[in-house]
Amino acid sequence: MHDGTFLGLQGVHRAEIVGFGPDTRPRVLIPALGKTTLLARSLVPVPAEAVGRLVAVTMMEEEPLILGLIQPLVPEVEADGEKLLLEARREVTLRCGKASIHLTADGRVTIRGTQVLSRSDGPNRVQGASVQLN
């Protein structure tokens, strides 16, 4: 058994989930141990969508034990072709050059740009407790 170091932890390896076995256990590829894939046990749920994801594993009696899924540096966006949802606990900012849309958890929405156009084929309504122009 190769005794690797990953994330500064002795005996912890980086692995990739490459599929699932007939018993629904995840199948992992651990590059530090060669090109063979092994069926693994897991401390965390491993959904079918995790194929291709990186995981941290350790060896337990010659069998990989998944300690957790490695989180991507950039949050993943889920889209089903019908709807796109971006969600955050504190704030979300969409930015392109000098234009931005900023949302905060307390309900504030700020739209900034060098020019802002609001166009509608139907009614274009502005509602609020008060409406301030300029």
CATH of the domain at 24: 2.40.50.140
Do 9 and 46 belong together in one domain?
A: yes
Look up the domain containing 100 and give its range. 78-112
50 in a structural domain: yes
Cα 112 off chain centre by? 27
Which of residues 69, 92, 123 is at a domain's end? 69
Task: Determine what percent of the chain is predicted with pLDDT higher than 90.
Answer: 64
- Asked if 63 and 27 sit in the same domain, the reply is yes
24 DSSP 8-state letter: S
61 in the same domain as 37: yes
Q: Is residue 126 part of a domain?
A: no
Residue type, 63: E
Cβ neighbors of 86 (< 8 A, separation 6 or more) are 77, 92
Strands, E, within 3-115: which ranges? 5-6, 9-10, 12-20, 26-29, 37-39, 41-42, 54-60, 63-69, 78-79, 84-85, 91-96, 99-104, 109-112
Q: Per the structure block, which two tokens stand in for 95? A: 């930015």
What does 29-52 look like in DSSP terms, one character per residue? Answer: E-GGG-S-EEE-EESS---GGGTT
**Does the global pTM surpass 0.75?**
no
pLDDT in tens, 26-65: 999 999 888 789 999 999 999 999 999 999 999 998 899 9
Give a yes or no: residue 85 inside a domain: yes
Q: Are residues 27 and 64 in the same domain?
A: yes
Identify whether residues 63 and 19 lie together within a single domain.
Answer: yes
In a domain, 86, yes or no: yes
Q: Give per-residue pLDDT as tens, 95-104.
A: 999 999 999 9
Domain count, the chain: 2
9 and 58 housed in the same domain: yes
